Amino acid sequence: MSEMIKDISLVDYYERVTIDNPRDTESCIRLKKTTNARICLGRAGDRCKTETLLKFRADHGVAMDAVWSEVDETIVDQLGFFKVQTLVEDKEQYIKRPDLGRIFSQETLDGIKDNCIESPDVQIIATDGLSACAINANLADIYPILMDGLTAKGYTIGTPIFVKYGRVATMDQISEAIQAKVTILLVGERPGLATDESMSSYMAYESSTLKPESQRTVISNIHRKGVPPVEAGAQLVNLVELLIREKKSGVELKM
């Protein structure tokens, strides 16, 4: 009976070395644990090995799936997020029309004003971005840390808002609608070939559509093998304190 073909997506490539007869396997493993780069792979003649190619194609497939994935809305419901949607009607339009993913209808903005806390110190927003998997993987871990940290420092916190089919610029319209001091946007990053769970956090002081993108301060690579969400949450709380004290963010903020 022939051997079953193993599922290559289940192999830990942070440790697996595929060089034939490496001189120092332990050193290769230590190097691989420091980076997502595809190193210590070996080769077959002047080409990559079949295993290397299959792993690359598997990771590319994961990235493609992440782009078309949807946020599990039971997560945002359990955390008490107020849900809104941009002008995008479906995932295909979201991919083809980035401009529509940055804006809301007037009706939606009125709904935000009517249902969300006005003039909070901190407004938290989550949106799918280009990897809903990232929100599914990280939101439930980072949100309680944010809430506990911000509450402990005495800040007023706005009604959390989930934006379906949203892009980063939605934070500007929401901030203007409710007059938040600091706005935090948690968004799924464009997936690469390392993970589909990487999330970014964009922050801005008095975020506004009239300001350039450089108004934003960013923490990226938030996932269990990057910046762990619990650690990122603590960093965000410290940054909120800095933004409110300095009354600025982005490139104007001297770190």
In 4-131, which ranges are continuous DSSP H helix? Answer: 25-32, 50-67, 73-78, 91-96, 106-115
Annotated binding residue 189:
yes
Count of helices and strands (H, E) across the chain = 8, 6
DSSP code of residue 104 = -
Q: Which helix (H) or strand (E) holds 125?
A: strand 122-127
At what angle are helices 170-178 and 106-115 packed, to 10 degrees?
Answer: 50
Strand order in the sheet with 82-85: 82-85, 161-164, 122-127, 182-188, 199-205, 217-222
Residue 18 DSSP SS3:
coil
- CA–CA separation, 122 and 240 (whole Å): 8
Task: State the binding site for adenosylcob(III)alamin.
Answer: 168, 189
Task: State the binding site.
Answer: 168, 189
